[in-house]
Structure 1
Amino acid sequence: MQETPCSVVVRPINNPFEVTMSDTVNQIKESELPFPLTDSDRFVLSQTDDEFKYHNWNELREIIGTNNLAVLKRKPSDLRRYMKWMAETKAAYGSTTSYLMQHRLPKSWGSLPFTPASQIPFADPSDFSVLLNDWPYGLSPTITHIVVWTRTVIPTDPATGDVTDESRKLIHDFVKTFFVDKLGAGGDERVMWFKNWVALQSVRALEHIHVLVKDVDPAVIARWTKEHNYHRQ
């Protein structure tokens, strides 16, 4: 099937990376996009922020439960800024992986390929880092988007790009222990997780999962995302 031509364009004056839907400027070629756009991305880029509908908790539960992750969307202005940031970061650092390793991930991890303390994902706390997502999806205000980065490979099915059944159980158990159990009674109703299929990942070289939490005190989130001594060199 022939791909739909990309309709995203860049305004060449003042800000060469500002993404707009204007038809008065040159179109970006598909190969020049900072990451592949989903159909949802293309639709969002045709909207204004006022037209955008934020994902609520029930909708997210349905999306994650059916593994329909391609429909997750960022707010239009956030998606445009994200595309701009990705393009500028790749120009400055060569890749987003290089930027993340220099500025966001633990210095103790060193360089790729990593040598994890454990070959089992999330088994050793020095092998993962819990951070707020710098570029969250368009979520209702009570929902916080967290990313758990890991230097241990999480096995996926090569045919589908989705996690294997064994990996899914490992992630589920980790999320329960690290997040759900810390929230006490009803915690399982306030936490969800997903891992993008390989085809949907904008940062493919670094393993990570997404965790969404609802109505969680900022102090709790700060404890989850703090830097530990074993993450420092």
Structure 2
Amino acid sequence: MATDTTDLGAFPLTAIDREIIAMNDEDFPLVKWDELTEIISANRLEKLKRRPSDLRRYIRWSNETKAEYGSIPNFVVQERLKWTPLPSSIPGEPPKFEFLDSVPFKNQNDFKILKNDWPYGLDTGIVHICVWLKTPIETDSSTGDVTDHSRSLIKKFVDDTFSSKLDTAFGPGKGKDHVLWFKNWVALQSVRGVDHIHVLVRDAPPDMLEDWTRQ
């Protein structure tokens, strides 16, 4: 049965969005770990979608948040990150922040780890985390993807922060099998202007999840 979308405002729905919105959650195929690994490995990030009920709520929340805060980045910066952007003289310019180290992830005060408020439709046991940065992550202007240097910085951070910690739960060298990461291409970002990476962890102990996102 089709779902009424008249209350979803002016959100730019794609054809796939409309298909998902018309579905019930029970009919939506959750992405399992092996499939998630393939999607990220192939950089087919556009295949990651939210559950129908979550997508409908996200669209309504997005419309309401934009009306109140002017943009999603404004909300994230003010309410979730609690960061103060540097003054800007250019209207509409993405926010910039004072940082302690120009190298991404080098200083703990330059990033914040939070659970994703609006995760994709993932299988049970997979938790979606976002790592937000004050320091810009370099990307390739022609593709929107991260550069090789940025990729190496991200991988080291993910290994040190997540994989090595999960070794204590699953055994030496096993933690990496429970962690995936990606950075959305610029065109796919729902929160543009505030650099962040996505980290997916599988079957992580609750106390470890709490420790990561305690900031």
Alignment of 1:93-172 (within 5 A): 93-107=69-83, 109-111=84-86, 112-172=95-155
Are 2:44 and 1:68 equivalent residues in the alignment?
Answer: yes
Aligned match for 1:210, one of 198, 201, 207: 198
Q: Are 1:75 and 1:137, in contact at CA under 8 Å, matched by a contact in 2?
A: yes
Q: TM-score, normalised by structure 2?
A: 0.88
Report the secondary structure of 1:209's partner residue.
strand
Over 3 Å counting, the alpha-carbon distance change for 1:40 and 1:172 in structure 2 is farther
Q: How many angstroms apart in 1 are the aligned matches of 2:157 and 2:15? A: 32
Report the secondary structure of 1:154's partner residue.
coil
> Which segments of 5 or more consecutive residues in structure 1 lack a partner in the other structure?
1-6, 18-27, 228-233
Counterpart of 1:3?
none
Q: How many angstroms apart in 2 are the aligned matches of 1:101 and 1:9? A: 32
Aligned match for 1:176, one of 159, 182, 186: 159
Cα distance, 1:172 vs. partner?
Answer: 0.5
Report the secondary structure of 1:137's partner residue.
coil
Alignment of 1:76-95 (within 5 A): 76-95=52-71
Are 2:29 and 1:47 equivalent residues in the alignment?
Answer: no
Counterpart of 2:188?
200
Cα distance, 1:221 vs. partner?
Answer: 0.4
Q: How many angstroms apart in 2 are the aligned matches of 1:215 and 1:76? A: 24
Cα distance, 1:116 vs. partner?
Answer: 1.2
Counterpart of 1:4?
none
Q: How many angstroms apart in 2 are the aligned matches of 1:8 and 1:207? A: 34
Report the secondary structure of 1:147's partner residue.
strand
Q: How many angstroms apart in 1 are the aligned matches of 2:16 and 2:159? A: 30
**Which AA in structure 2 matches 1:189?**
D
The Cα RMSD (Å) is 1.8
Aligned match for 1:191, one of 166, 169, 179: 179
Report the secondary structure of 1:98's partner residue.
helix
Q: TM-score, normalised by structure 1?
A: 0.81
Counterpart of 1:10?
5
Q: How many angstroms apart in 1 are the aligned matches of 2:132 and 2:15? A: 26
> Which segments of 5 or more consecutive residues in structure 2 lack a partner in the other structure?
87-94
Q: Are 1:40 and 1:73, in contact at CA under 8 Å, matched by a contact in 2?
A: no
Over 3 Å counting, the alpha-carbon distance change for 1:141 and 1:167 in structure 2 is same
Report the secondary structure of 2:81's partner residue.
coil
Over 3 Å counting, the alpha-carbon distance change for 1:37 and 1:194 in structure 2 is farther
Q: How many angstroms apart in 2 are the aligned matches of 1:117 and 1:8? A: 48
**Which AA in structure 2 matches 1:54?**
L
Over 3 Å counting, the alpha-carbon distance change for 1:123 and 1:220 in structure 2 is same
Q: Are 1:40 and 1:71, in contact at CA under 8 Å, matched by a contact in 2?
A: no
Cα distance, 1:42 vs. partner?
Answer: 3.6
Report the secondary structure of 2:57's partner residue.
helix
Cα distance, 1:40 vs. partner?
Answer: 4.0
State the aligned residue count.
201
**Which AA in structure 1 matches 2:193?**
A
Over 3 Å counting, the alpha-carbon distance change for 1:118 and 1:8 in structure 2 is farther
**Which AA in structure 2 matches 1:73?**
K
Q: Give the share of equivalent positions with the same residue, in percent.
A: 48
